[in-house]
Amino acid sequence: MTTIDPSKPILVTGSSGYIASWIVKLLLDKGHTVHAMVRDVNALDAMGHLNKIAEGSSGKLVLFEADLLKEGSFDAAMEGCELVMHTASPYSVDPKMDPDAFIQPALDGTRNVLNSVNKTSTVKRVVLTSSVAAILGDTRDVQGYAGGIATEENWNTTSSLTHLPYSYSKTLAEKLAWEMVKAQDRWDLITINPSFVFGPSLSKRKGMPTMDFLSLLADKRSAMGAVPFNFGIVDVRDVAEAHVKAGFIPDANGRHILTNQALWYKEMAAIG
């Protein structure tokens, strides 16, 4: 059982991101103080929406600059926090992206955040944004699951540096987090494993990979001649709420798959 004091600040990494922005909004609307980690506090195109969210809330937003790959970068922002929500991780829908751009930042970022957690005596709980990709790689994984059903007990065993590297990065990063939490007994860990996250963005910034993909769907033309491709989806607002609940429910624990329904690519394009 872990009880989080709601009056203490809450650290959210990658705060200007698609999912994290909704987490920040929920926390601020509930009156919490949020220590929001961003790469550049002066980049209004990237985090100006966070200030607007804060202005209309009863909570308090405090911005901190951090480099995901720099050891100790999170120490100052984590001071006094009992709850840390780590959402920051590289993501892209570009199949040509260098696999190393996924793997090392995901691993080093998770390690750096959790090293700061280990140094910060006030932290009691970490909520990590993982992915269903850490549970399920491709159909070869499913063939080995009981009844052909993926659960939180399963791990992706088919992805690699050369095959689905994003899925591989999420698997490695989450496994590292579980190894690090087992090495101590002060803080606990909960992981959120959503399927494809769908829904509105609080930021109007261009170049966000998820929004680029959703824009492609909205174009409709992308569905012409599309191969039969079916995948689970979940609303971004539900994902954000799951993070907040995971943070504050005392007996919350373990991994949590989030998905609402499965749609074919053409069905998603029709909605978009």
Residue 235 has pLDDT above 80, yes or no: yes
Pure H helices in the chain: 18-29, 44-55, 75-78, 100-119, 139-143, 165-182, 209-218, 236-248, 265-271
Q: Is 170 a catalytic residue?
A: yes
Task: Return the amino acid letter for 4.
Answer: I
Per-residue pLDDT at 103: 86
Residue 99 has pLDDT above 70, yes or no: no
What lies within 8 Å, CB to CB, of 26 at 6+ separation is: 240, 241, 244
Per-residue pLDDT at 48: 84
Question: Comparing C-alpha atoms, which of 93, 84, 91 is closest to residue 66?
Answer: 84
Ordered by start, the domain boundaries in the chain are: 10-197+233-259
Mean pLDDT of 59-87: 94
Q: How far does the chain reach from its first CA to its final CA, in angstroms?
A: 42
Q: What are the tens digits of pLDDT across the range 174-186?
A: 999 999 999 999 9
Query: pTM for this one?
Result: 0.88
Quick one: pLDDT band at residue 140, thresholds 50, 70, 90? confident
Question: Per-residue DSSP letters for 40-60?
Answer: -TT-HHHHHHHHHHHHTSSSE
Report the chain's mean pLDDT, rounded to a whole number. Answer: 87
The catalytic residue among 8, 70, 119, 170 is 170
Per-residue pLDDT at 216: 54
Q: What are the tens digits of pLDDT across the range 71-83?
A: 999 999 999 999 9
| Cα gap 167→171, rounded to integer Å | 6
Q: Which stretch of 24-28, 80-84, 153-157, 222-226 has the lowest confidence by average pLDDT?
A: 222-226
Assigned CATH for 10-197+233-259: 3.40.50.720
Per-residue pLDDT at 39: 82
